[in-house]
Amino acid sequence: MTRIHDDPATFADDQLAGFLDLYADRVRGVHGGVVAHRGDGGPQVAVVIGGGSGHYPAFCGTVGPGMAHGAVVGNIFTSPSAAQAYSVAKAADQGRGVVFSFGNYAGDTINFGIAADRLRAEGIDTRVVVVTDDVASADEPSRRRGIAGDFTVFKAMGAAAARGADLDEVERIGNRANAATRTLGVAFSGCTMPGEDEPLFTVPDGHLGLGLGIHGEPGIRDVPMLPARELAELLVDDVLKHAPAGAPGRVGAILNGLGTTKYEELFLLWRHVAPRLRDAGYAIVDPEVGELVTSLDMGGCSLTLMWLDDELEPLWRADAYTPAYRKSAAPVAALREPTADELAEADAVVTAPAASGAARGLAGTVRTALAAVESTIRSHEHELGRIDAVAGDGDHGRGMLKGITAATARVGELGDDVGGGWALQQAGQAWAERAGGTSGVLWGAALEAFGRHLGDTADGYPAATVVAGTREFATTIQQLGGAQAGDKTLLDALLPFVDELERRVGAGEGLAGAWTAAAATGAAAATADLRPRIGRARPLAEKSVGTPDAGATSLGLIVTAVADVLTSQEEQT
């Protein structure tokens, strides 16, 4: 919906006033529209474009060096008057004549025609180039409406004028550009005039209006909405079907959004449009994907092709600098593709450091522990989900399983010569990438920090080193997640576990025994009575009281599983 306005009746004038304030350094307002400040070259043929408002950047947004010299600004979707066109042309004229150019609509044709007569009567040679690119609007090319192809025609003439072409030449080029341009559009939804609650027209739900005009003029037919690939095929194939006779194998292209259809959608469509054009044998020259001719908040898009020969191609490629359309070859020409060395450096995979014998031994423990964790999570997946569903979205079991599965798979791909520190780092990265969600990212980062702390160069991994690694694990989760003890998160099991482990190992206890006792402490931590104070569970805080935290529960399960691994390893040695 069009929502920002004061008096809807003065919308067109009011928006123009804002435009003129914004671009006062490059254009000036005159009765009926906008005239570009002149450049420092000699006088140029004045290309004066125009039509109704509501189509920005058409028309005043493309006034400036390399494009139009003036734009006549009518009311919304309404032709400007002859007096407006006359006034803008009079101000834009630099003594070398005027070319009026606009889309083929009855009102514009009449009013610009009257203005042209009046200018000629005053001795200002004035020509008229009418844009007729919309292949859906009529079989007979000269009766077709003008839509996004306005842009290619205006650009060709603006570039020619900027190069000093005379009036005959600019007119001739405009007509050639129009003869070389074809557009097909589709609409997904209508647009709403300022002050109105209902759209000017509608497209049936789940359909697209094929060939619907930019003011809602009748199209060819409504068809059910298509996936992007098929929509691209429809647009490309139909525009190519209307290719000018003897057309060259190069095209300028515009994939134009009508208002509500956004850039991401247009890029997605371009992904299919470009290869289909190339498969048809065309070289695509300087394509434009974006909003060049819109219709307020209408949903839809159009594909325009201009077939480029040796005369039109440089005009299409030429620089321009207007409020809405700016193109400069120089900054792109100054760029260079990355060198092979740079690419190699960027893509260089960090390889595992050489591992000590002790580190390689530790890797075995890591593998065994990860397998045990995967096993316990797999058997508790649904229980964890049920606990999480009380005040969350119930995906904790599934997320943890995705994480640990990715971690064990990654470690399984590592060679036998890596150390335990590297294995834990790789496990953490895989976990974070696959598990998703905040808990996945935290578990992954914490495992990675644990592994980094252990390293792979030590001659041995005494209990104190492992304890310091678990502290690193906990600190990472605290820092990244921003939670504190008592917030009803996994920290409420993790911190008691690490504290107890530190205490026992500090008192001289062996790792396996200390870990087993600490795991019991962690697993027993009572989070059921806590209220969540962080994260997405917060809004449902009351509802969760009486149920333990899912993250604390899974942590308890995991440290318990690891305790069994450590105990059985100690028994074996």
Site for a second copy in 257-296 (CB under 8 A): 259-271, 274-275, 287, 289-290, 294, 296
* Residue 215 is among the residues annotated as catalytic for this protein: yes
Residue 306 DSSP code: E
| Closer to a second copy by Cβ: residue 424 or 525 | 424
Q: In terms of CB distance, is 211 or 299 closer to a second copy?
A: 299
> Which residue in 69, 215, 272, 380 is the catalytic one?
215
Whichever of 98 and 519 has its CB closer to a second copy, that residue is: 98
Is residue 225 near a second copy by the rule CB under 8 A? yes
DSSP, residue by residue, 434-500 = HH-HHHHHHHHHHHHHHHHHH-S--S---HHHHHHHHHHHHHHHHHHH---TTSSSTHHHHHHHHHH
Cβ neighbour number for residue 482 with a 10 Å cutoff: 11
Closest C-alpha to 151, from 308, 245, 23, 291: 291
Residue 2 in the binding site for a second copy (CB under 8 A): yes
Q: Should residue 340 be labelled a site residue for a second copy when binding is judged by CB under 8 A? A: no
Q: CA 332 to CA 317: how far, in whole Å?
A: 13
Between β-strands 250-257 and 283-290, what pairing exists: parallel, antiparallel or unpaired?
A: parallel
Phi–psi pair at 104, nearest 5 degrees: -80, 90
One of 213, 216, 419, 481 touching a second copy (CB under 8 A): 481
With binding defined as CB under 8 A, does residue 54 bind a second copy? yes
Interface with a second copy includes 91 (CB under 8 A)? yes
Rg of the chain on CA atoms, in Å: 34
Under the binding rule (CB under 8 A), the answer on residue 143 touching a second copy is no
What tokens does 446 get? 């914490």
Instruction: Name the one range near a second copy by CB under 8 A: 36-44, 170-178, 493-501, 553-561.
Output: 36-44
By beta-carbon proximity to a second copy, the closer residue of 67 and 525 is 67
538 forms part of the interface with a second copy (CB under 8 A): no
Burial 406-421 (b: 16+ CB within 10 A, else e): bbbebbeebeeebbbb
Chosen residue from 29, 33, 50, 57 binding a second copy by CB under 8 A: 57
What is the smallest separation between the CB atom of 159 and a second copy, expressed in angstroms?
Answer: 14
What would the two tokens of residue 129 be?
């180039």
Please list every residue from 94 through 113 that binds a second copy, using CB under 8 A.
106-107, 109-111, 113
**How many CA within 13 A on the CB side of residue 434?**
18
**Distance of closest approach, residue 56 Cβ to a second copy, in angstroms:** 4
Does position 189 interact with a second copy (CB under 8 A)? The reply is yes
The bridge status of strand 299-307 relative to strand 326-327 is: unpaired
- The residue from 9, 22, 138, 524 that contacts a second copy (CB under 8 A) is 22
Asked if residue 90 binds a second copy (CB under 8 A), the reply is yes
Using rule CB under 8 A, residue 347 touches a second copy:
yes
Backbone angles phi, psi at 217, to 5 degrees: -60, 150
Q: How far is the CB of 264 from a second copy (least distance, A)?
A: 4
Cα–Cα nearest to 182, from 223, 217, 141, 126: 141
Decide if residue 146 touches a second copy (CB under 8 A).
Answer: no
Asked if 25 interacts with a second copy (CB under 8 A), we say yes
Contact status: 36 vs a second copy (CB under 8 A): yes
Written as one letter, the residue type at 381 is E
50 φ, ψ (degrees, to nearest 5): 170, -175
CA distance 520 to 522: 5
4 or 340, CB closer to a second copy?
A: 4
Q: Is 537 in the site for a second copy (CB under 8 A)?
A: no
Q: Which of the residues 405 through 464 are near a second copy (CB under 8 A)?
A: 429, 432-433, 438, 441-442, 444-445, 448-449, 452
- For position 35 contacting a second copy by CB under 8 A, the verdict is yes
Stretch that binds a second copy, among 51-59, 356-364, 389-397, 524-532 (CB under 8 A): 51-59
Pairing mode, if any, of strands 299-307 and 181-189? Answer: antiparallel
Of residues 309-338, which lie at the interface with a second copy (CB under 8 A)? 321, 324, 326-328, 331-332, 334-338
Please tell me what DSSP assigns to residue 253.
E
Residues taking part in catalysis:
215
